[in-house]
């Protein structure tokens, strides 16, 4: 083991430039991957936030008694997916609308009657906030007597659904491309390193070193290089997250998860890349 570690350190000193390039390549890839993770996590979070605000509004016909409203609420509550119902009276609706109008509230005051209907705000389980479920539940609610109209921002929901799908797909594709290209880049860099030490490897083989003995120092070098890269990129990502979360309160980091993931990923990329490169070289020559 001591010999292997010594060989790895010797190799790194001998190939300083290659080691530097490997560290730079891994760090760069990881920082981009980390940045992308932050973007994705927050993107999805904002989408979720928008989704959580989705509610079905069932407008009631004028003149329903409290008993009628209660019975209607109970019937709606029994529909699968409904978790909460909030009654907004005509007066409350008037007040809310007036508040929303702000300085234009005079327009509303000019009317002699309250034109706004009372409504039931129907809150759904997050799993039911899909276009199909909203359509289904709205249809059921609309069939009850006492319901004048239903609104749930169909266009919005369709758009959010599309955003989630596109974001997740783009995320997956981009992450795969980035991971594969990082491994390829590391493989190529280590391969150059291996090629530059072919005489050394040939001598090792000549004196009877086994392939695993030859392989281990290179993988160890990959491990050291990737460890350094991981420390660099995890620190950068942590720094970015720290700045963003302290500046934008809505921004979320999941700092530890992202930082640790970047760290582990970097080490894996280094080891896998080194192993592929050395194995390929050893396979080509006996």
Partner 1 sequence: MIEFSHVYKYFKKDWAALEDISFKIQKGDFVFLTGVSGSGKSTLLKLIYMEEKPTQGEIFVDNLSSATIKKNDIPFLRRKIGVIFQDFKLLEDRNVYENIAFGLEVTGGSRKLVREKTLAILQKLRLGHRRNAFPYQLSGGEKQRVAIGRALVREPFILLADEPTGNIDPETSKDILKLMKDINAEGTAVLMATHDIDLVKGSGKRVLNLEHGRLKGDI
208 binds partner 1 (CB under 8 A): yes
Give the contact letters, 210-239, x = binds to partner 1 (CB under 8 A), - = no. Answer: xx-x--------------------------
First to last CA, the chain: 24
CA distances to 133, 216, 236 from 278, in Å: 54, 9, 30
Burial class (CB in 10 A: 0-12, 13-18, 19+), 198: exposed
10 binds partner 1 (CB under 8 A): yes
Q: Which is nearer to partner 1, 53 or 283 (CB)?
A: 283
Q: Which is nearer to partner 1, 203 or 257 (CB)?
A: 203
Helix axes of 2-14 and 211-247: crossing angle, nearest 10 degrees: 70
* Count of residues that interact with partner 1, criterion CB under 8 A: 17
Taking a C-beta distance cutoff of 8 angstroms, is the pair 40, 251 a contact? no
Which range, of 150-158, 197-205, 242-250, 266-274, touches partner 1 by CB under 8 A? Answer: 197-205
Taking a C-beta distance cutoff of 8 angstroms, is the pair 183, 269 a contact? yes
Apex CA 27: angle with CA 170 and CA 21, to 5°? Answer: 125
5 binds partner 1 (CB under 8 A): no
109 binds partner 1 (CB under 8 A): no
280 binds partner 1 (CB under 8 A): no
Smallest distance from partner 1 to CB 3, Å? 5
Which range, of 128-136, 151-159, 168-176, 199-207, touches partner 1 by CB under 8 A? Answer: 199-207
1 binds partner 1 (CB under 8 A): no
Which SS3 state, helix, strand or coil, does residue 204 take?
A: helix
Phi, psi of 55 (to 5 degrees): -140, 155
Contacts to partner 1 by CB under 8 A: 3, 10, 14, 199-200, 202-211, 213, 286
């Amino acid at each position: 083991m001591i010999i292997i570690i010594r060989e790895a350190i010797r190799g790194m000193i001998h190939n300083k430039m290659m080691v530097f390039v490997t560290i730079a390549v891994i760090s760069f890839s990881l920082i981009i991957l980390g940045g992308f993770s932050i973007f994705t996590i927050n993107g999805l979070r904002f989408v979720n936030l928008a989704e959580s605000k989705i509610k079905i509004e069932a407008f009631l016909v004028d003149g329903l008694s409290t008993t009628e409203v209660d019975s209607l609420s109970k019937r709606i509550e029994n529909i699968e997916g409904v978790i909460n119902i909030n009654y907004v009276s005509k007066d409350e609706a008037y007040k809310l609308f007036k508040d929303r109008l702000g300085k234009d509230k005079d327009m509303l005051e000019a009317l002699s009657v309250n034109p706004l209907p009372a409504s039931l705000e129907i809150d759904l389980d997050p799993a039911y906030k899909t276009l199909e479920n909203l359509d289904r539940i709205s249809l059921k609610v609309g069939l009850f007597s006492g319901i004048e109209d239903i609104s749930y921002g169909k266009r919005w929901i369709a758009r959010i659904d599309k955003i989630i799908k596109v974001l997740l797909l783009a995320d997956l594709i981009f992450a795969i491309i980035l991971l594969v290209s990082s491994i390829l880049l590391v493989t190529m860099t280590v391969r150059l390193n291996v090629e530059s030490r072919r005489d050394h490897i040939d001598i090792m083989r000549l004196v009877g070193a086994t392939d695993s003995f030859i392989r281990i120092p290179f993988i160890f070098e990959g491990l050291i290089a990737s460890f350094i890269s991981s420390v660099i990129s995890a620190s950068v990502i942590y720094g970015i997250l720290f700045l963003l979360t302290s500046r934008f309160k809505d921004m979320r980091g999941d700092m530890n998860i992202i930082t640790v993931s970047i760290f582990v990923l970097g080490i894996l990329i280094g080891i896998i890349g080194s192993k592929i490169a050395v194995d390929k070289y050893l396979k080509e020559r006996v």
